[in-house]
Amino acid sequence: MSKMLSLLSGAIGATAIVFLPAPGARAEMEFSIYGGAQTAPHSDVTVSGPTAPTSFNAGWEGKSFAAPPYYGARAIWWMDNLNRPNLGVSLDFTHAKVYADDETLTETGWDHFEFTDGINLLTVNALYRMPMENSKFVPYVGAGVGINIPHVEVIRPSGRTWDYQVGGMTLQAQAGVSYQMTERWSVFAEYKGNYSFVDVDIDSGDRLETDIFTNAVNLGVSFHW
């Protein structure tokens, strides 16, 4: 947990420096919250360590609207003060999640295998928006990198794991369109994909590794200042 907090504070601190505009300069800031429908395709899982090594292909369910739901929030600095108003930098937090399906649990003999208090993705992203003349619709794209912080939930015959860990690196890509309702408020719809390299400890001194690709269609609202 201390390692997780150290990485989080470092990422937030570095991003805070980036987000601070130069003295006397004007910058457009934006804060967004969003939810939506998130899924994940099957992924290969490898377990190594003192117990018998094993590997299997896990089927995942997103269950976006089941508690705890899928959601996210982000802050964006659009670089008006650097004469690059269509370029932005964001700090994005997403509470993504996956549940192993019944076939996976039957195959492994495990009672429980989930990351449902979140894979918890924290990323720093570069954004580019494309205003259209005489239109309130603004398409945008973005890409970035960060860390995943899964809540590891494994219950199997050899033991139980139930804690937050730093899983590894996460890559992010997104594309969407926003609609400017007023000077201060806009709404948006987007696709967002994250590829997370998860490498965590589980019971009996074993390690579990898998790469999880989450796909989400998001709807959100933003405040500008």
2: phi then psi, degrees, rounded to nearest 5: -65, -40
Query: What is the extent of the structural domain holding 176?
Result: 2-224
| Strands 137-148 vs 121-129: parallel, antiparallel or unpaired | antiparallel
The per-residue pLDDT for 82 is 86
- Specify the CATH number for the domain of residue 173: 2.40.160.20
Band the pLDDT of 10: cuts 50, 70, 90: low
Q: Can you give the pTM of this predicted structure?
A: 0.88
Q: Give residue 89's pLDDT band: very low, low, confident or very high (50, 70, 90).
A: very high
How high is the pLDDT of residue 6? Answer: 54
Q: Which is more confident, 118 or 19? A: 118
Question: What is the secondary structure of 62-93 as a DSSP string?
Answer: --TTSSSPPEEEEEEEEEGGGTEEEEEEEEEE
How many structural domains comprise the chain? Answer: 1
For residue 35, what is the enclosing H or E element? strand 28-39
Cα distances (Å, whole numbers) of residue 137 to 88, 179, 187 = 17, 5, 10
Average pLDDT over residues 145-169: 98
